[in-house]
Structures are given as C-alpha cells and as structure tokens.
C-alpha cells in the first residue's frame, strides 16, 4: 500500500496560514455572491485533495506546485495550480457527497480531477450549478457569461425602474431603517420599539469617521456629528446607548426601549413599562407570582400578522389593518450622496408608501409568485420570528419589500425567456440556447437571493455601516431595527450591487476552471442512496458532512428556496410550472415541491429535536450519519482514502462520527490535522469560544492498511505503547503554537483509532469511552513529546485549561474534553478554584455555559496571592504551586519551606508543572511574559539548589 503525503506528514501550518487569509479581505469573490453558512477555504481544500492522491513529493515542492504565486501574494487561491501538478492528477475521480457551497469540487476541478458534487437540498444544488457547472460550460464554449449576465441584469433593473407600481416607493432614499410600533396599553398611542438608537459609530484611529444616532422628542430626531474626535461610552453587552463627549459638549444616546429577553418595553410617549400579558384576548398587568398568557408585544405582532393576511385576502379593511396593536413603521431615511450618507428622520409620507404597497399587494393576492409557503413550525429555537406570528415566508417582508421582490421575480423570469429566444434567433441549438438561458436566469436569481437576504424585516441595521443580513447567524433572529433597501441603489445587498457581485464572482470562477482538463457534475441526490452513481467508483471521497445541530439547512435555506423556485419556474393557469432546473422544484410526477423542510428534512443528516418529534423520526443523528457513510463507501476504490472535514465542537458529535466510521464501518484513522475553516456565528451558540475548531481526517479500510489489533489500556506496557504513538504522531506537526490543545486531541485520536478494539481491564470500551481515553492519552503523549510528565489531575487540568482558553475563557464543550483527560467534572474544577462560571451573550435560548480560567493576571505578588486564595485547601499540588509562585518574586523566600510543608511527592509535581509551563513557552504555546511561565522559571531556578 502506498502512503500518501496526507498520511506521511503535511505542512499543515503553512497551509493553514494561507487558508486564514480567506477569512478576511482575501475572501474568494464568489463567496460574496450569496451567503452560505459553511464554506471551506479554497487553499486548504486544494492542499488536502492533492495530498490525498500524491505519495512521493517533497512538501515544499508540493506547496510551490499547488500555489505558484505564493511568493508574490497572500491570496493564493487566485492562482491555479501548476500545469505539471494538474497533469499528474488528471483523470483521477473525486466524490463529495455533502458538497455544500462547493469548495472541494471546485478545487478538484482546478487540479484537473473529474469532480462529482452531490447535494440533497435544491437550494444548495442550484448554488452549486452556479459555482461549478455553468462556469465550466461557459469556459469550454468560450462564452463571456459574465458579460451576458451583466446585459440581462441591466435589462431587469431598467424595467423595474420603469414599473409604475415600484418607481415612487423609494424615491431618492437608498435605505429606510424601520421597526415595529405597538399600541401602548397605558396611553393608547403607537410607540416605536427601537433596539438600538445608534446610526453610525465607526472609529478609525483616534477619531470617529462617522458618529450619528437617533433621539426621541415626540418623534425621531437625528444627531449627526460626522467625522469627529469624541469619547464614547456605550452601555450593555450589545453596546447600545451611552454618552458622547465631543467639542466640549456631552450628549446622551438613548437606551433601547425593547428588551425581548426580559419581555419588556417602554412607551416613548408616556414612559409606561410595557410588560403586560395577553390572556384570552384581554390585556392585563403581569402577576408578581407567575407569568400567564403571552407577552403583549408578542401577542400584538401575532395580531398584525393575522390581520395582514386577512387584509391581503380582502377580508378586512386598510383602516382595520392600520389600527392593529402592532404595525411596521419607519425611523430614518438614508440618502447616498456620492460616497457619503445622509440621515434624515422618516416622515408620514415615507410611512404612507408602506400602506400604498399593501394596497397593491391586495390587488395581486393569489399570484403564485407570493411565497405563502409555511415556515417550519417546529423551528422556533432558531427561527425566532415564528414566536411572533411570522409563520409564512412572505410575512418576513414589509409590503414595499415584498412588492419589489415580486416585480423582480417576474422580470427575471421574462429575462430568461427573452435570452433563450435571442440565442435561438442567432441560430443556436435548442439545448445550448436553453442551457444559456438557464445559466443567465440562475445568476439573476442568485442576485435576488442576496437582495432578499439584505432587505427584510429580519435584516438589521448595523452601526458599523457594514450591513447586517437576515441569515448572518445560524438562524433567523427577531430584529427591531431593520433595513428596507431600494433595489437600484449602489449599496451592499441591493439588487443592483448584488448583480455586480455575481458578475465579479462569475469572472473569477470562469478564470479558475478555464483550461482544466477535468470535468464536473452536480447531482441532486441523497448521500444515503446515491442512486445516480450506481456502478461508479472514485479514487478519493473528500467531504464535509453536517455536524449534528450546527445548521438546520433544510429549514433555513427555505428562505432562499421559495424565491429561487419562482424565478426559475414558469407560470401557467395561476400556478408554477417547470421551466429551468425542474428537478429542483418539482417531483417525478411534476408536482411542486412546496418547501424543503416538508420534503427533505427527514432525510437530512442532522441533530434536530424539533424535526425528530414533528416527523416522528426513529433515526437520530448518529444513525443517519452512519447510514450515509456506509453507503458512500460503496463508491470508494478498495485502496482509496475517505477524507473528512469535521468542525464539530461538541463531544457527542465526535462520538457519532467515530461510531459511524471506526466502529460500524471498520475504518482505520491514518492521519488527522487541525485545519483553518469558516468562522461561526449562531443564534443558538452565541458567545461560544470553543478551542476545538476544524479537523480533517483520513480514513482507510482496515484490510488496506497494517492496522493494529486490540489494545488494553489497563496494561501499563500497552498504554505506554499508545503514548509513544502519540508522541510519534507529534513529529508530523512541524509547529503547533497556540493550538497545542487541539493537536494533542488529534494525536490521541490518531493513535487509538488505529486499533480495531480498545479495552480496559478486559472490558470493551464504547466509542464515547474511547474518545475519552484518546483525549487523556493525547495530552499525556503530547507532554511526553515535550519531555515532561504531569500526573496530578488538578495540575494537568490547569495546564490544559491554560492552553485551551481564549482570552482566559473556555466554553462547556472545551471543559468536557478536559474532563475526559483528567476525570474532573466542571463542578470539581470550579470547587478547586480552577474555573469561575461566566455568562455568555445572546438571548436566553442562545445562552452557553462558559467559564473563566482562574490564573494570575500579572507577574506580581498580589496577583499570585489572589490566585492562591482561590485554590487554598482544594488541591495540594496547586496550592503548593501558587505559594511557590507568590514567593518566587522574593529573593528571601526559601523553597524548602514548600517542600517541608507539602511533602516530597507534591513538590515533585510542582516542579513537573513548572517544567511543563517552560516547555510550552519554548514551543510557542505560551508567551514568555505569561505570569505562570515567569514564576515557573524562577521556581525551577531556585529549586535546582535543593536537588
């Protein structure tokens, strides 16, 4: 069996550095085309693919062939691999059964491979067509597809400008900032609910490039200081409100008057607290004993949604709708004046345009282009607007936004028809003319998706002037200051700007795949069946599977799906009919696929309690994942590698993966590395700062490798063998710097999962216990690699927490791994003075358990004494270590006092802990200025006199 570069040792640190560039300004252009939750850096994907297929290449030559421009620029994804490398890999076949946004198949295509990308969900399938198939098709036919999209995008925008129903709705405003207003139960007037009064707070250096906010004085007033030197003190975890000192004056920025977490608001007219409850339609003051009914604001918004739909159906009047206990309103109008912005209070005429749009929508009700599909009813954990009555997709847009979107859908559909007719008129064949029109229409629809994302009642205004969007987190949050964007203004997220972004993306993609001898297919299929691939085999399967409850793709991407379906389908007899990509929107009988969640959610590999209960599913995440991989392996050559990206942070998600591949499928883990991946922002995981990021792991069938048999970790000799395997694994990692914690875990996994079975005192360990053992052995072997050994569980726990913490904070997932390594629970570590619970940000439903690692803040006697006070009487080793630290700064301190007080064995453990700190500093894991490192060096220097 040949051993690939991926298995022998990859220059992963250099690859990760190149990948990290893609998280900032060096992002690939097509990532801006439309938001998708997870996208693997292209540099990393290219390196992993090539390393999984090559066996005899020097690592530095490997990097040079991968990225010929790496000596000239940091954004190496902008240059294609060398022709020699492409020729060497030509004809190899890669399968990605969970293709997502296509980073892996795109880089496979650039490397000259034949790539097959599979996705279950129609939304991802359409996006993959835009990223992979259409650019390759256009490049092979020398069609300037970017120019064609530009032409038809211009046509759509020009026709929209001429539409009498839309033309006057935005006027000269680039953006309106709106919110909801509710009828105050105390004074009866409608009061706006303002989540943040800041309009702009953009600091650069010692001054603010823009400082502006709203005030209330029987209406909104704008205070705009422009560019100014100022001192700003904001309030709260969200940085809202506060005090501004500028030009010798002091200003007060109001605090928000809505706090949904506490279920309270304040009337801007009379000052009354709005914490009332709605009980059987009656509004009552809250009880001091217990909450009854619904919060008034939540009830009022449900009333709005019910009346809004009744009005559109013609069942009630506009006057009744306007008298709803909740209704949309506008706060500020934003004009774009060159490169500058001008903020003005919105007036009655501006608000009136919302009602004018509502009247037009009423005339259109019954039009199949209105997305009346239901939002998944069980998704209130991450689709919070459901709780407020936003239970159909059209309700997530105010009347003006919805009207503009409906007009755009119709124009995009017409553009597709005209584009096809044009090419037929030029003598093109029917197949090519249809494919051309399909591609153009798809890109115009993708631009529509981006506009939808940035202009809704769940897309928030951002004081940084970098606009927020509806799907900016792994869920949809309720917004109190939302954006309403003119479609034709040149502003981030508008339709005009989105078309331009698509054009730039397309130019990049066509350039990337031009000249590649490889081919690409995008298939709409289920990884658990892969029915469209029967009889095929692949040289490598490389994929990025779902991570338990990370993203509920089926439910969330319906936000895009309902618009894609309309833009890419025809209309006949008042219903949608197949036109472009019909396989994405209609079943085998030609019936419309209403929503993804209704048709595909039960088959999606994911951990989703609400989904499981709603569909009465019998299989959980672990079973779904195992079934999918069992099927995927049928399509891998016997000697081929299965390479898996995994960004799961929860231990139970790792249990599911290892159970699927190691226990159920009998694979051997032959290599694993930490890799730079996408960043995380989640409405169910805000404040999360887990040290465990992304991993990539290579697996082979046991019969294809010299796998180990059985190991019993209770046997000292066998355990020592595994620890040595870990230390040897560390030799692959040329540097591990601040990722020591992660590398240790990966090395432990790599060592233990070579064995067919892991036992302890004869008893076979289940997967969770094996992972616990891997964590423990991983850290033991990692320290052995550094030449130290720490046995005391509290000392080891402190050492691991220090290497794992981010700004001194760890989350509950990270603590769970420390528990595996030491046997100490989070409660034990809190009692021992190692951790202090802290509260993370976000809504109650999004709270995470986080901890602050108790460590000296600086190298000073008071800081060491303070830390000593936390551990005194809890752990002898830590107490002795802290006493030694406090005395280390005093030349008169006698370290033999520590030895005499705590005993020889404890003193040896203190010295072992000190050596570990120094070695971690030498390895670049900890800073030389770290208080523990400084003290450890002093203690070792002084204690040497006692030896």
DSSP H or E stretch at residue 246 = strand 240-246
* pLDDT reported for residue 574: 94
Q: Which residues of the chain have pLDDT under 70?
A: 1, 236-239, 649, 678-693, 707, 734-738, 839-848, 943-947
Please check whether residues 410 and 465 belong to one and the same domain.
Answer: yes
834 within some domain = no
In angstroms, the CA 567 to CA 576 distance is 10
Largest Cα–Cα distance in the chain? 97
Three-state SS across 613-656?
A: HHHCCCCCHHHHHHHHHHHHHHHEEEEEEEEEEECCCCHHHHHH
For residue 231, the enclosing domain spans: 197-254
818 within some domain = no
The token pair that represents 762 in the structure block: 């004869």
Please check whether residues 124 and 247 belong to one and the same domain.
Answer: no
In angstroms, the CA 940 to CA 947 distance is 10
55 within some domain = yes
Q: Residues 788, 919: contact at Cβ < 8 Å?
A: yes
* pLDDT reported for residue 736: 66
Please check whether residues 182 and 209 belong to one and the same domain.
Answer: no
Which strands, in side-by-side order, build the sheet including 277-279? Answer: 282-284, 277-279, 294-295
Q: Which of 705, 734, 759 is the last residue of a domain?
A: 705
Q: Residues 489, 496: contact at Cβ < 8 Å?
A: yes
In angstroms, the CA 612 to CA 601 distance is 9
538 within some domain = yes
CA distances from 918 to 310, 723, 747 (A): 71, 21, 22
- Count CA atoms closer than 13 A to 827's CA, side-chain side: 0
In angstroms, the CA 721 to CA 32 distance is 49
Please check whether residues 325 and 235 belong to one and the same domain.
Answer: no
* pLDDT reported for residue 503: 98
Total structural domains in the chain? 2
The token pair that represents 931 in the structure block: 């208080």
pTM over 0.75: yes
Please check whether residues 156 and 215 belong to one and the same domain.
Answer: no
Which stretches within 705-805 are classed as H helix?
A: 716-729, 740-752, 767-786, 793-804
* pLDDT reported for residue 779: 87
Please check whether residues 163 and 54 belong to one and the same domain.
Answer: yes
Cβ of 373: how many Cβ atoms within 10 Å? 18
Cβ of 693: how many Cβ atoms within 10 Å? 17
Please check whether residues 379 and 471 belong to one and the same domain.
Answer: yes
899 within some domain = no
Q: Which of 670, 705, 740 is the last residue of a domain?
A: 705
Please check whether residues 45 and 150 belong to one and the same domain.
Answer: yes
Token look-up 């008034």 returns 296
In angstroms, the CA 754 to CA 708 distance is 6
pLDDT in tens, 531-563: 999 999 999 999 999 888 888 999 999 999 999
169 within some domain = yes
Q: Are strands 114-119 and 93-96 parallel, antiparallel or unpaired?
A: parallel
* pLDDT reported for residue 120: 97
Please check whether residues 540 and 655 belong to one and the same domain.
Answer: yes
Please check whether residues 310 and 245 belong to one and the same domain.
Answer: no
DSSP H or E stretch at residue 214 = strand 207-216
Cβ of 728: how many Cβ atoms within 10 Å? 14
Name 20's Cβ contacts closer than 8 Å, sequence gap at least 6: 41, 676
| Cα-based torsion angle of the residue sequence 402, 408, 410, 411 in order, rounded to the nearest 10 degrees | 160
19 within some domain = yes
DSSP H or E stretch at residue 266 = strand 264-266
Q: Residues 581, 438: contact at Cβ < 8 Å?
A: yes
In angstroms, the CA 880 to CA 885 distance is 9
Please check whether residues 238 and 183 belong to one and the same domain.
Answer: no
* pLDDT reported for residue 946: 43
Please check whether residues 203 and 180 belong to one and the same domain.
Answer: no
The token pair that represents 631 in the structure block: 């099927």
In angstroms, the CA 178 to CA 479 distance is 10
In angstroms, the CA 787 to CA 785 distance is 5
* pLDDT reported for residue 737: 61
Q: Which of 666, 686, 705 is the last residue of a domain?
A: 705
The token pair that represents 261 in the structure block: 């977490």
380 within some domain = yes
């Amino acid at each position: 069996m040949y051993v690939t570069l991926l298995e022998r040792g990859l220059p992963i640190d250099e690859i990760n550095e190149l990948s990290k560039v893609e998280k900032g300004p060096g992002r690939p252009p097509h990532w801006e085309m439309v938001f998708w939750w997870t996208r693997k850096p292209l540099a990393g994907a290219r390196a992993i693919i090539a390393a999984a297929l090559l066996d005899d290449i020097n690592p530095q030559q490997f990097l040079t062939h991968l990225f010929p421009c790496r000596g000239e620029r940091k954004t190496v994804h902008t240059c294609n691999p060398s022709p020699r490398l492409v020729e060497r890999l030509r004809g190899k076949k890669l399968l990605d059964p969970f293709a997502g946004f296509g980073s892996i198949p795109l880089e496979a295509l650039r490397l000259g491979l034949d790539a097959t990308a599979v996705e279950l969900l129609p939304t991802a399938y359409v996006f993959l067509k835009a990223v992979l198939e259409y650019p390759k098709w256009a490049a092979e036919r020398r069609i300037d597809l970017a120019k064609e999209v530009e032409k038809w995008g211009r046509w759509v925008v020009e026709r929209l400008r001429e539409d009498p129903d839309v033309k006057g709705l935005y006027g000269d405003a680039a953006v309106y900032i709106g919110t909801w207003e509710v009828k105050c139960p105390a004074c009866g007037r409608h009061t706006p609910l303002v989540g943040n009064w800041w309009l702009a707070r953009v600091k650069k250096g010692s001054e603010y490039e823009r400082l502006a906010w709203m005030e209330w004085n029987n209406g909104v007033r704008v205070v705009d200081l422009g560019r100014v030197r100022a001192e700003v003190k904001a309030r709260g975890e969200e940085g809202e409100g506060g005090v501004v000192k500028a030009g010798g004056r002091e200003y007060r920025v109001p605090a928000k008057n809505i706090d949904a977490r506490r279920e309270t608001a304040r009337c801007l007219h009379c000052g009354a607290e709005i914490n009332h409850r709605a009980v059987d339609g009656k509004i009552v003051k809250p009880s001091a004993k217990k909450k009854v009914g619904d919060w008034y604001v939540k009830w009022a918004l449900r009333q709005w949604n019910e009346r809004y739909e009744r009005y559109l159906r013609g069942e009630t009047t506009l006057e009744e709708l306007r008298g709803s206990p909740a209704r949309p309103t506008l706060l500020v109008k934003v004009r774009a004046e060159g490169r500058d912005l001008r903020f003005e209070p919105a007036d009655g005429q501006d608000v009136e345009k919302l009602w004018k749009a509502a009247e037009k929508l009423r005339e259109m009700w019954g039009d199949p282009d209105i997305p009346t599909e239901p939002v998944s009813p069980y998704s209130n954990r991450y689709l919070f607007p459901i709780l407020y009555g936003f239970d159909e997709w059209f309700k997530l847009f105010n009347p003006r936004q919805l009207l503009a979107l409906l007009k755009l859908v119709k124009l995009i559909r017409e553009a597709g028809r005209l584009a096809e007719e044009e090419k037929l008129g030029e003598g093109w064949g029917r197949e090519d003319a249809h494919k051309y029109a399909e591609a153009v229409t798809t890109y115009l629809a993708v631009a529509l998706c981006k506009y939808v994302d940035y202009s809704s009642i769940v897309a928030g205004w951002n004081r940084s002037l970098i606009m927020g969007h509806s799907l900016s987190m792994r869920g949809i949050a309720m917004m109190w200051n939302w954006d309403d964007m003119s479609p034709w203004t040149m502003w981030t997220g508008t339709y005009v700007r989105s078309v331009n972004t698509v054009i730039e993306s397309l130019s990049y993609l066509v350039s990337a795949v031009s000249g590649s001898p490889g081919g690409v297919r995008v298939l709409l299929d289920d990884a658990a069946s892969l029915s469209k691939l029967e009889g095929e085999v692949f040289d490598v399967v490389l994929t990025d599977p779902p991570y338990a409850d990370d993203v509920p793709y089926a439910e969330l991407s319906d936000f895009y799906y309902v618009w894609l379906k309309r833009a890419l389908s025809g209309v006949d007899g008042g219903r949608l009919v197949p036109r472009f990509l019909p396989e994405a929107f209609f079943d085998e009988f030609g019936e419309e696929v209403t929503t993804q969640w209704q048709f595909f959610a039960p088959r999606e590999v994911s951990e989703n309690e609400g989904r499981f209960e709603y569909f009465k599913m019998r299989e959980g995440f672990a079973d779904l994942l195992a079934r999918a991989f069992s099927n995927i392996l049928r399509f891998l050559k016997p000697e081929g590698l299965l390479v898996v990206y995994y960004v799961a942070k929860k231990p139970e998600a790792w249990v599911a993966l290892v159970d699927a591949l190691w226990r159920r499928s009998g694979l051997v883990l032959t290599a694993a590395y930490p890799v730079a991946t996408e960043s995380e922002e989640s409405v169910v995981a805000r404040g999360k700062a887990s040290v465990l990021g992304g991993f990539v792991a290579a697996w082979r069938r046991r019969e294809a490798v010299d796998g180990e048999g059985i190991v019993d970790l209770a046997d000292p000799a066998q355990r020592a063998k595994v620890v040595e395997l870990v230390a040897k694994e560390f030799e692959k990692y040329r540097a591990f710097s601040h990722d020591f914690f992660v590398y240790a875990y990966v090395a432990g996994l790599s060592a233990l999962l070579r064995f067919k079975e892991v036992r302890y005192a004869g008893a076979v360990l289940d997967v969770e216990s094996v992972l616990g053992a891997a964590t423990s052995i991983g850290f033991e072997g990692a320290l052995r690699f550094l030449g130290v050994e720490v046995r005391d569980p509290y000392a080891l726990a402190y050492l691991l927490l220090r290497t794992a913490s981010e700004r001194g904070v760890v989350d509950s997932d990270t603590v769970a791994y420390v528990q595996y390594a030491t046997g100490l629970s989070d409660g034990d570590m809190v009692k021992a003075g190692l951790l202090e619970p802290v509260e993370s940000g976000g809504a109650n439903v999004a709270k995470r358990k986080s901890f602050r690692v108790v460590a000296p803040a600086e190298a000073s006697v008071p800081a060491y004494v303070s830390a000593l006070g936390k551990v005194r009487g809890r752990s002898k080793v830590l107490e002795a270590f802290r006493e030694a630290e406090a005395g280390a700064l005093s030349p008169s301190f006698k370290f033999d006092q520590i030895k005499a007080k705590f005993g020889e064995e404890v003193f040896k453990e203190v010295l072992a802990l000190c050596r570990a700190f120094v070695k971690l500093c030498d390895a670049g894991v900890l800073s030389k200025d770290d208080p523990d490192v400084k003290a450890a060096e002093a203690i070792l220097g002084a204690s040497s006199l006692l030896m």
